[in-house]
Structure 1
Amino acid sequence: MTNKKRNEEMAYEKLKRAIMLKRLIPGQRVTEEWVSKELKMSRTPIRSAFKRLENENLIELVPNKGAVVHNPSNKELEDVFNLRIVLESYAAKLAIPKLTERDLVVLNELMEQELESYQERDFEEFMRVNGEIHAYPAKIADNKFLLREVETLNQWADCYLILRDEFYSMPLEDVKSIPEHKAIISKLRERDADGVEEAIRKHMLSTLSDLSERSSIFN
């Protein structure tokens, strides 16, 4: 890796980590000059890092203002999670007739990885596994267009988790997503189409409610 690429990667990782740890908060302006002084590097790799973070919906590049940490509205959250209910419920219903024992083994392995990543406070791994769990029914359904949309919405949801979730401070026993994922997988195992739709709806609305309530921690 060249020094240029190394600096770009370092700037990206440090800025993303600062957002995850709430050292940079939604709505906060982040200038190239300030980051350059903090990281003791030129502005060129910082611009590249800003662009990557913009692609991940974590910052917005505003003309004549620079970079601002993305501050999603509750309506934005509602729009994404309500659409996820529709698409992921549809994917699960398509998946049920094609579901194999091997698929169930994979889902159980993903659940174990999710628990382990939370216990180790590895947020990046937790989000990766979370995305795999949510996308897996669309993969089983073998509908590439549906899978693409589900994965895109998962990426949006990841940015909301980074911006609003209390991952680093919440004890394991208070984490709702893990038992809610287990409920979804249980209904898939039972081939219960209505049950899995209800489990997905409950999980999405629970997450939406938590993220909406937690907007106050940035005030």
Structure 2
Amino acid sequence: MKKILPKETLADQAFKSIKDSIIAGKLEQNEELPEEKLAMDLGISRTPIREALKRLAAEGLIQLNKAKPATVATFSIVDGLHYMEIRRLLEIYNIDKNTDKVSEKILYDLQNNLEEQLESINRNDFHSFIDLDREFHLILASIGDNKKLVELIHDSNAGVNRAFLILSNTLQVSAEEAYNEHTKILKALQNHQKDLAKQLMTSHLDNVEKRFLSYCTQGEMK
């Protein structure tokens, strides 16, 4: 049964519109995003624009700047690999340290997330899949009580998220692979198999890097 979602706010709509323009390349790297111009283009006030820009910054898609307009974030293959290295260190450590603290609610949330991942794959909606993929890892990040660790995992996922959003039109096979890998990780957590969960997360993140590199053909990313 699908969840009943509230009507989208103006900030939600602005967020999606700007995000789609960045992913499609209509807004180029380092391009300025003046609030006044965005508000005029979208026909709304600056308040929802500010909220949308904060969300885009949290996803690594734009850079917020003091005393001047936000800009579209730059990105390269090297950036992606650096973020993936950080993710590997943080997320495997998180499972090793905090697997014993996984609550029933966390397991329930992960299961719901996986169901939504599968729905997005069946709809060929890979933008949504990427968001759900990121959410899966952020739910896992919340199992411990170290808020700084959670923030670091959030930031590293935001950087990786940018790369896969740009490449989302090529993601059908890798989305299915990632979903299957996530499912195995959840099963290990449900069975309290910490060593297996660590092994599966290590394998998953190695595969994420391999998939990333396989899509970074010449001309797609620099």
What TM-score, normalized to structure 1?
A: 0.70
CA contact (8 A) 1:184 1:200 kept: yes
- In 2, distance between residues paired with 1:86 and 1:218? 25
2:85 aligned to which of 53, 58, 82: 82
Partner residue in 1 for 2:179: 178
2:98 aligned to which of 90, 95, 98: 95
- In 1, distance between residues paired with 2:160 and 2:127? 13
Partner residue in 1 for 2:189: 188
CA apart distance, 1:67? 7.5
CA apart distance, 1:27? 4.2
**Structure 2 residue 145 is the aligned partner of structure 1 residue 142:** yes
Partner residue in 2 for 1:211: 212
- In 2, distance between residues paired with 1:173 and 1:138? 22
CA contact (8 A) 1:24 1:69 kept: no
- In 2, distance between residues paired with 1:176 and 1:157? 17
CA apart distance, 1:84? 1.0
RMSD: 3.9
Partner residue in 2 for 1:161: 164
1:24 aligned to which of 18, 23, 26: 26
Note closer, same or farther for the CA distance 1:29–1:50 as it changes in structure 2 (3 Å cut): farther
Partner residue in 1 for 2:76: 73
Counterpart secondary structure, 1:87: helix
1:52-75 deviation line (CA, Å, top 9, x unaligned): 44564324589xxx8864342222
- In 2, distance between residues paired with 1:9 and 1:189? 34
After superposition, where does 1:59-70 map in structure 2 within 5 Å? 59=62, 69-70=72-73
Partner residue in 1 for 2:109: 106
Note closer, same or farther for the CA distance 1:217–1:49 as it changes in structure 2 (3 Å cut): farther
User: Gapped runs of 5+ residues in structure 1?
Assistant: none
- In 1, distance between residues paired with 2:154 and 2:72? 23
- In 2, distance between residues paired with 1:74 and 1:172? 20
Counterpart of 1:191, as a letter, is: H
User: Gapped runs of 5+ residues in structure 2?
Assistant: 1-8
Larger Rg: 1
- In 1, distance between residues paired with 2:132 and 2:33? 33
In the alignment of these two chains, the number of paired residues is 209
Counterpart secondary structure, 2:85: helix
Partner residue in 2 for 1:202: 203
- In 2, distance between residues paired with 1:174 and 1:138? 21
1:15-57 deviation line (CA, Å, top 9, x unaligned): 311233x24376485787xx87x94769x79x85995445643
Note closer, same or farther for the CA distance 1:187–1:73 as it changes in structure 2 (3 Å cut): same
Counterpart of 1:186, as a letter, is: K
Counterpart secondary structure, 1:217: coil
CA apart distance, 1:91? 1.4
- In 1, distance between residues paired with 2:97 and 2:41? 49
What is the percent sequence identity of the aligned residues? 20
What TM-score, normalized to structure 2?
A: 0.69
Counterpart secondary structure, 2:220: helix
- In 2, distance between residues paired with 1:40 and 1:102? 39
CA contact (8 A) 1:95 1:138 kept: no
Partner residue in 2 for 1:129: 132
